[in-house]
Amino acid sequence: MRARLPGLLPTLLPLLVVAAAVLVPLPGMLAMGATAMEEGNVLVVADLLFDGTFPHGDVEYLYAPGNVWAVGTVFWLFGPSVLLERLVGLAYRALLLWGLYRMARPWGRGTATVAALTAWVVLAPFGLLAYSWLCGLALLCAGTSLVLDGGARRSTAVGAGVLGLAVFHQVVLGPAVLLVLGTEAWRTTRARRRRLATGLMAGLSPFLLHLVLVGPVAAIEGMVVDPVFRLRAGRRLPLPPDPSESGDMFARVDDLLRGPDPWPGLSRPAQVTAVFWLLLATAALLLVLPRLWRLPHRRRFTTLALVGVAIVPMVLQRPSPNHLKFVGCYVFAVATIAVAVALGRRLPLAHRHLAAPLALVAIAGLLFAVAPHHLGRFTVDAFGARAATWSTQSVTHAGRTLPVGDADFAADLEDVLDAVDEHTDPGDTVFVGPLDLTRTNYSETFLYFLLPDLVPASRHLEMNPGLANRDGGPLADELHDADLLVLTDRFDGWSEPNTSVEPGSPEPARVVAERFCPVWAAKRHQILVPCEPGEQG
């Protein structure tokens, strides 16, 4: 047994290094507040799934349904909780790192390790939200690695199936999937093409079940019409990003809350612009590096580079700090592979083992120098002080616990939930939204998760500009039949350089004014119920 350990060490050491890097920030990632609209939506839609409420058909959902089915299945097996949802998110990230490691393995274990570490350094500050894009990207990387290494074996079909599942989680990954399969199908055997096609069809087959459950019209409207045509104008940010002012609302709020940076560098808006251009330049450069640097496994690297170019539109639609990280975690990981291989050829033989670590230092150092706040400070916080945060202020209601992170906000939420309990019975319908219903830019979707005995009154769990407040939308009719409204002015100051600042349909606000009366109010929230006869809303 002892004799086998030295032989196992080269295989185990990279995995142990990556595992250690994942474990260090994990406590802080699990303890982060879960009040973001996107995480609340995942929690609620997944919770409702096995009660017969389906994304696109019954509730608005802007992505393909794979993520809801994954989280919903875990909830069905073990019960709904934020911890389980985040463990699913952790599994997504582990799959992403495994996929990147396996894709980079032909260039050596050290290179594969630093490729995975680069992605993790960029992603860790985002937390563990089971985000549809990250699951899709993880499946894309895992499927690509299996296809590239599959040859004539069955793993080729398995990899193609995983690529199909990537599309089932994120439709916008379709071009990247087609590039991978197209480059592999070119100049190969008929038998291998058949395996690729069979696997892809198997991976896409869950769409058939979804179409049966919600209908093709609702599915296309939810996955294509709503996010691409109705929503886009209300979420789009200027291209290129303005270096003098952050377009992303939450970036500006963060600037206000965090105060000045301890490190010198560009202004925070200019950092976003610099990372944007660096990302585009890197993605383009990766296409020419195989020939320029005469990289080994040229065809494989070209495929990885093409995938990076294919996912760049995720940034072009909204160049916010988070979207830059979602794409950058892959593009910069592939760049680390190229730098590690190039250094390995130039270093003396005795020092070639340093090539991979030096590549990681070079790429991470470049990113931290360009964006000392958005990448440097956030990453240092994730692996430093925040990593030691094992718990945070939470709210518990109806047997469910939600980390909030702020004691004052937690106290406000407990008052809101107590007031809702006082004015409702199990089975009543509740709507959570903004006080100004002409501007539906954001909402506290997590409140639905904390109110499991009540039924959402509207298909619009999230509040999105151009959707919930669109002319001719269903919100006004849904509000007319609601039993209770929880409205807040927390997001009334929302301001981005897009159509989200423009008022939408006045009909929902008119229904509230005519039919509902306030029964409770606090600093940031109001609760309204249908007026009694003779009362005026």
10-residue mean pLDDT series, the chain (537 residues): 56 86 94 95 97 96 97 97 97 97 96 97 95 97 95 89 98 97 90 94 97 96 95 94 92 78 85 97 94 88 97 95 97 97 90 92 96 90 81 92 93 97 97 97 97 98 97 96 97 94 96 97 96 75
CA distance 390 to 370: 31
What's the rounded Cα separation, in Å, for the pair 487 and 524? 8
Burial class (CB in 10 A: 0-12, 13-18, 19+), 243: middle
* pLDDT tens, position by position, 327-374: 999 999 999 999 999 999 889 888 888 999 999 999 999 999 999 999
pLDDT at 253: 83
Tokens at residue 456, please? 């959402």
Q: What is the pLDDT of residue 291?
A: 84
User: How do beta strands 484-488 and 455-456 pair?
Assistant: unpaired
Greatest alpha-carbon span in the chain: 89
CA distance 444 to 486: 9
d(CA 345, CA 356): 11
In angstroms, the CA 207 to CA 103 distance is 27
Neighbour count for residue 352 (Cβ, 10 Å): 15
> What is the pTM assigned to this prediction?
0.95
Distance in angstroms (rounded) separating the CA atoms of residues 364 and 383: 14
Residue 32: strand, helix, or coil: coil
Q: Are 218 and 243 in contact (CB under 8 A)?
A: no
Tens digits of residue pLDDT in 43-76? 999 999 999 999 999 999 999 999 999 999 999 9
Question: What span, in angstroms and rounded, lies between the C-alpha atoms of 63 and 130?
Answer: 13
Distance CA 208, CA 236 (A): 31
In this structure, what token pair is assigned to residue 487? Answer: 């409205």
Return the pLDDT at 7: 58
pLDDT of residue 1: 43
Question: Would you state the pLDDT for residue 353?
Answer: 87
End-to-end CA distance of the chain: 79
Q: Are residues 58 and 457 in contact, defined by beta-carbon separation less than 8 angstroms?
A: no
Q: What is the pLDDT of residue 56?
A: 98
Classify the phi-psi angles of 265: left when phi > 0, otherwise alpha if psi is within -120 to 50, otherwise beta: left
Question: Which amino acid makes up residue 315?
Answer: V
Cis peptide before 240 (omega within 30 of 0): yes
H or E stretch covering 403: strand 400-403
Secondary structure element (H or E) that encloses residue 400, with its range: strand 400-403
Angle between helices 66-78 and 82-104 (to 10 degrees): 130
The encoded tokens of residue 120 equal: 């993790």
Q: pLDDT at position 5, please?
A: 47
Backbone angles phi, psi at 317, to 5 degrees: -75, -25
pLDDT given at position 352 = 86
pLDDT at 537: 54
Residue with tokens 């939470």: 394
Cα separation of 480 and 508, whole Å? Answer: 8
Listing from the earlier edge strand, what are the strands of the sheet with 525-530?
455-456, 429-434, 484-488, 525-530, 516-521
Give 71-94 pLDDT, tens digit per residue.
Answer: 999 999 999 999 999 999 999 999
Please check whether residue 307 is in contact with residue 179, taking contact to mean a CB–CB distance below 8 angstroms: yes
